[in-house]
């Protein structure tokens, strides 16, 4: 291991030891990129210097953690995924008297509102509860508010229509200045909470878990642990939806899931 990598590993170990946040099993290239950009923005020249600074200054660490764990998403990202959920999964969910859904790594909540809209249009929202979790408190705050830039609505409307949306998308929000606020009724059954997939345990049993474009940030070991966590958190015949480029390829539990839609990465727990 060369010295730059050692400094980097030392930093992540120190953060784990002092603050309890574990990034040691994250995909290194992505974490490095974010740490480098954090350093460049503050003119911090070496990783060692950064380590000393954040170990001494808890406030700076808070800023650091928010910045390196932030993820971006959009409403109805990959419309065909939502279409498949609607066609293959919702009718099965409808057979339960009460539907529990976990959106793990919900970032700023765009996906949470997309799912709420999907459930609303299927007449299922009233008897559903959605647990939306993320490691990043700032992102969760944005998610709770449900306020997004007006400029994104054009793309989201296109996505919504491609996903098979039944109404006019603008019925779900009110626009003011350059922002839109999503309808309060959408979030009446959503619980937003902090959850760290790298260290926290299962907290309920669900019929559907969505975790899209989160596993790509983890190494194979952590991906496997997280799939195990999802396995434990799903009811028999519960559904799991992953991101477009993610798979169960490296998971020990691979054989305990079957494909519901291979292209859209929707799986069902079978045993």
Q: Interface with other proteins by CB under 8 A: which residues?
A: 5, 27-30, 32-34, 71-73, 213, 216-217, 220, 243, 245-247, 250
Helices (H) then strands (E): counts for the chain: 10, 10
Which helix (H) or strand (E) covers residue 56, if one does?
helix 47-56
Neighbours of 49 (CB within 10 A): 12
121 - beta bridge partners? none
Q: Which pair of structure tokens corresponds to residue 131?
A: 């647990």
Strand spans (E) along 119-205: 128-134, 147-149, 173-176, 179-182, 190-194
CB of 139 to other proteins, least distance (A): 13
Nearer to other proteins, 72 or 194 (CB): 72
Whole-angstrom distance, CA of residue 211 vs CA of residue 223: 11
Nearer to other proteins, 245 or 255 (CB): 245
Nearer to other proteins, 155 or 168 (CB): 155
CB of 57 to other proteins, least distance (A): 25
Whole-angstrom distance, CA of residue 106 vs CA of residue 248: 20
CB of 216 to other proteins, least distance (A): 5
Nearer to other proteins, 71 or 225 (CB): 71
Nearer to other proteins, 28 or 121 (CB): 28
Backbone angles phi, psi at 117, to 5 degrees: -65, -45
CB of 123 to other proteins, least distance (A): 30
Mapped onto helix, strand or coil, the DSSP state of residue 248 is: coil
CB of 120 to other proteins, least distance (A): 25
């Amino acid at each position: 291991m060369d010295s730059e990598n050692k400094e980097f590993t030392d930093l992540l170990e120190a953060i784990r030891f002092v603050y309890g946040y574990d990034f040691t099993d994250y995909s290194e290239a992505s974490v490095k990129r974010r740490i480098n950009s954090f350093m460049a923005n503050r003119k911090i020249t070496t990783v060692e210097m950064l380590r000393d600074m954040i170990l001494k200054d808890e406030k700076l660490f808070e800023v650091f953690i928010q910045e390196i764990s932030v993820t971006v998403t959009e409403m109805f990202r990959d419309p065909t995924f939502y279409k498949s959920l609607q066609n293959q999964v919702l009718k099965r969910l409808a057979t339960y008297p009460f539907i529990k859904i976990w959106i793990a790594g919900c970032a700023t909540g765009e996906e949470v509102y997309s799912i709420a809209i999907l459930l609303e249009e299927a007449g299922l929202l009233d008897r559903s509860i959605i647990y939306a979790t993320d490691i990043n408190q700032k992102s969760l705050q944005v998610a709770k508010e449900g306020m997004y830039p007006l400029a994104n609505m054009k793309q989201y409307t296109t996505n919504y229509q491609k996903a098979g949306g039944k109404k006019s998308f603008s019925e779900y929000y009110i626009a003011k200045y350059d922002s839109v606020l999503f309808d309060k009724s959408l979030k009446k059954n959503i619980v937003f909470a902090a959850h760290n997939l790298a260290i926290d345990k299962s907290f309920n049993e669900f019929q559907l878990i969505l975790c899209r474009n989160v596993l790509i940030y983890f190494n194979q070991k952590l991906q496997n642990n997280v799939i195990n966590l999802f396995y434990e958190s799903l009811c028999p015949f519960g559904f799991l939806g992953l991101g477009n480029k993610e798979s169960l390829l490296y998971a020990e539990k691979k054989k305990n899931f079957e494909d519901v839609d291979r292209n859209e990465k929707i799986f069902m727990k079978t045993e």
